[in-house]
Structures are given as structure tokens and as C-alpha cells.
Structure 1
Amino acid sequence: MQEHFANHQTIDVKLQPDRAISKIAAAIGEPARVRMLYCLLDGRARSSTELAVVAGVSPSTASVHLHRLKTERLVKVFTQGKHRYYNLEGPNVASALEVLNVVAAGSHDKFVPNTSSRLLTARTCYDHIAGRLGVVLHSRFKAFGWLSTRKDENAYDVTLAGTKAFEALGIDLIAIRTLRRRFAYACLDWSERQPHIGGALGAALLKSALKRKWVVQDLDSRALHITRLGHREMLSRFGLHIEEIQGGSRRADS
């Protein structure tokens, strides 16, 4: 066993995350693989052929890249008939990619076909609502006292008032608490530099909005279109005006 000595303490390097982090960083740190990963941020499964087009590489090269991403548990694959489809491994990978966007102080709008303004207004962050809409909803829910901060300042629980409000939207809080993922947390939005709601609660909110036809997701991107019904309902329920979503300017501070 190799040991390092610092301040008269012995540290087992096998317990350090250096090697694992380096391998993951190396897997992400290749332009073609980055394009593939960000393309999968909308939560949809895609074939290796589709991802090859997104990455701008040949199908054989795409297969090599996808094997590397799968080895590092960044993507998962499932087979349907003769086809193999790829998804992000899970919400943790999606969150890491979003945070990397903040660190890079840039955006990946160039990886999707829609205009940046639509993505900035409302989009999916893996399986929850992001963009200006997600940030404003997060602020509203906190102002209404629906969310309470847990010991982990990044994590939320739901208050009694919040329980009534979310259940009125058809969200089964008891059921989503049983899921093997974080219940609710502040997910830093890469474009607004402010948090939106992530976790099982965030995913349930997106499902509710889609089911109620408040938003409609683009077929070929992460952009969400807010319907007229959505504007009316969010104004009535949350006091949210359209100008707050579409007229909000992107913050330059982090």
C-alpha cells in the first residue's frame, strides 16, 4: 500500500478520489464526447448514429467514444430490437454537466438547433425545468414558504403549505420520497447563475407541467414552449407574469 505523509498523518491514497476524478475528467474532456453528453441533457435516448452526427465524427469513431463514456459510467445503453440507444447515466451526471457550464462561464447553445433566447427562457435540465422559468418558479416557491432549507443548505424539504400546493398540482410527494434520488435541491442554472429546483420534486414539477399542457417540449432540443394555458395558470397560481420569464435578462454575475 502506497502512503503519503502530511502533518505527521498517514493517508491511504487508495481512498483518495484523484484517480477516479481524473478518469472522468479525461472522458469528458474531448470535444466530440462533450457534444454527445450535452446532446443527451434533454433526457431523450439517442442512437450512436444520431450522436455521431451531433459530434461530427464517423459512426465507428462515435462507437469508441460512447464505449469510453459508458466505461466511466457517464452514459448507459439499452437495446431495442436491432438498435442501441444511449442516455445519461443519471441526474448526477446531468447536474455535473450543468455545473461545468457555469465554471466555463459559457453555454452549449451551439450544440442544439434552437435559438439561444428560447433556451434561456425555458428548457429542461435533464428531467426538471431550467432557464428563466425554472429560476422564477424556484424564487416564487421559496417566497411562498413552500420550501424549507434542510441542514444541507443545498437541499430542501416541503412545508405544510407546500405540501398542499404541490399535491394540488397532482404531485404525489409520498411516492417521490421513496425514489432512490435526492428529494429536492438547489440546482445552479448555467444561464441565470441562480438556482432552479432539481431532484425528484423538480422532475415531478416538469411532469405535471407537461401533463397539464402548461409547457410543450421541442422534439429536437431541450427548449420548452410555454403555452397560453401555461401563462394563465402560472399567473393565477403563482402570480407569475410573462414579462418575468421572457423579459428577464441574463445575469452576468456568478
Structure 2
Amino acid sequence: METSTAVHRGDADVAHVAALFADPTRARVLVALADGRSLPAGVLATEAGVSAQAASAQLSRLRDNGLIDVEQSGRHRYYRLASDQVATILEALAVIAPTEPVRSLRDGTRAAALRRARTCYDHLAGRLGCAVTAALLDREALVRTDERTTTERRPDDRLSARVTDAPYDLGPAAQEVMASLGLDPDLVGRPGGPRPLLRFCVDWSEQRHHLGGRLGAELLTQFLAAGWVARRPRHRAVDLTDLGAERLSTLIGVEIT
């Protein structure tokens, strides 16, 4: 008689993973890494407001549990999120999390800046990210494949999460519009790699779709290189520069206040 060697797995241990996000120091570290950059331990300690020793202990725990990766560069170690799924979880938690009390004008400015323009892993989010996505749709660089004509979320799209079976495709003007924004127009015609060209998220602050995936990442990289947006030190918020506001308005009609 054969003896089965199958391993019966139980339910996912959600509580174990949730506990990793629950500690304030670990949460601040993960938020600091949520824009897709790699940062050294010293910067992360400053961002979390703890000592280097305390930060090191929490970084080790996050790494041991697969939420972050580390890369050695010379004498320094740089930490980054292990995947964009971790950033998606952070965005989802932001929807249901209470807002921290604003104790100063600086705090209020940071909160407003995040809503205006920020990174969601390696692509744009906030009002700017949603406005760019809407402009691409208006100019037929993107088309919706359902009955809707705007970037509104569908009733079954979960807030602050990646959109499954996103109702979008490249439009007839995709190459022309991408070329006007400084991207290689052939990007939209290349065979897919390990990462999809088009992905979409439900933006937690705007509650509309914004563009992610390979195309979203390429757009953010181009906007940074062209000086249209600028990163803030140790902050997920990005600033739309005067040059960027003028160019995005002229090229694709993006207007945000």
C-alpha cells in the first residue's frame, strides 16, 4: 500500500504578517522604502526616529520574513522592498488607517504633498499620477475596454490595491503620445517581459485608477530625468516642477493645483 507524502497546508498565517506591519518602527521603515528606492540603514534609522541599533534589529526581522531585501555596495548595505506587493499592502493600509495628528505646519505640508503627488513603489500616484493616467486615456494612448470612459474605479475594485483584470489596453495614439513625453515609442510595441507593460492600482487618496506596471515606471523615470518632477529627501512625496507643470499641460493637458 502506498503511503501518501503530500503535505497538507493550513490557512495563511495572516496574523504573523500583519504583526510585521504593526510595529511603529517597522512601519516607518517600510513606508520610507515604499517609493522603490534602496536606502542605507542610517537613513532608515533617521526616518524611523530610532537608534541605529534599534533600526538594525527591525531590518533583520523584516528581511528574515521576506518583506525587504538587502544589497551590499562597498562598505554599505542598502535595503529595499522585496516586491511591489509590499507597497500595495502599505497603500491598502493607508485607506483604513487613522490619520496621524498634525502637530505643525511641516506635518500638514507633508500630508498634503503626499496627496498631491507621490510614488507608489516605482510609479506616480496621488492627484498627479491619476491626472496623467486620465490624460493618457483622453488622448487615446490608453483605451478602456469596458463601458466606462474615465479612470473611475469599478464597484468591485478594492480600494488601494492592484486592479485585477484591468479594463485598459494601449490605444491607437500610444506611440505618438509616449514619444511626445520622451519615451522610446517602440516601448509600447515590445514583447512583454517578466513584468506586464500595463498595470493599474486604485489610488488610495483619489480612489481612481492610476497607471503602474512597466509603462508607469518608465514614465516616472523619464519625468525625473527631464526635471519635470523631483524627489523629496526621505519622503515618498514628489514635487511637480514649474517646467514639468508647463510641459505636461502643453503635451497632454495635465492641470493640477
Q: Say yes or no: TM over 0.5.
A: yes
The answer to whether structure 1 residue 28 and structure 2 residue 21 are counterparts is: yes
Equivalent position SS for 2:173: helix
Matching residue within 221, 225, 228 for 2:239: 225
Take 1:218 and 1:169, find their aligned partners in 2: how far apart are those partners? 22
TM-score (structure 2 length as normaliser): 0.77
**CA contact 1:109–1:115 (8 Å) conserved in 2:** no
Equivalent residue number for residue 3 of structure 1: none
Task: Work out whether residues 41 and 222 of structure 1, in 8 Å CA contact, stay in contact via their aligned partners in 2.
Answer: yes
Rounded to whole Å, the distance in 1 between the matches of 2:216 and 2:49 is 33
Give me the identity figure in percent.
35
- Tell me the distance in 1 between the aligned counterparts of 2:112 and 2:145: 34
- Residue 112 of structure 2 corresponds to 117
| Change over 3 Å in CA distance of 1:59–1:228 after alignment to 2 | closer
Task: Kindly state the Cα deviation for residue 36 of structure 1 after the two structures are TM-superposed.
Answer: 0.5
Runs (4 or more) in structure 1 with deviation over 4 Å come to: 105-110, 149-152, 174-177
Q: Per-residue CA shift, 1:9-51, capped at 9, x if unaligned? A: xxx851x5512x3332222221110010001112222222322
Of the candidates 130, 139, 146, which is equivalent to residue 125 of structure 2?
130
- Name 2:212's counterpart in structure 1: 198
Say whether the 8 Å CA contact 1:147–1:159 is kept in structure 2: yes
Residues in 2 aligned to 1:115 and 1:231: alpha-carbon distance in whole angstroms:
20
Q: Match for residue 59 of structure 1?
A: 52
- TM-score by length of structure 1 reads 0.78
Residue 164 in 1 paired to residue 157 in 2? no
For this pair of structures, how many residues does the alignment match? 229
RMSD: 2.8
User: 1:7 maps to what in 2?
Assistant: none
| Bigger helix share | 1
Show structure 1 runs of 5+ residues with no match.
1-11, 247-254
Give the corresponding residue for 1:185: 199
Residue pairs, 1:7-86, within 5 angstroms: 14=9, 17-19=11-13, 21-86=14-79
Which of 134, 138, 149 is 1:139 aligned to?
A: 134
CA offset at residue 156 of structure 1? 3.4
Amino acid at match of 1:181: R
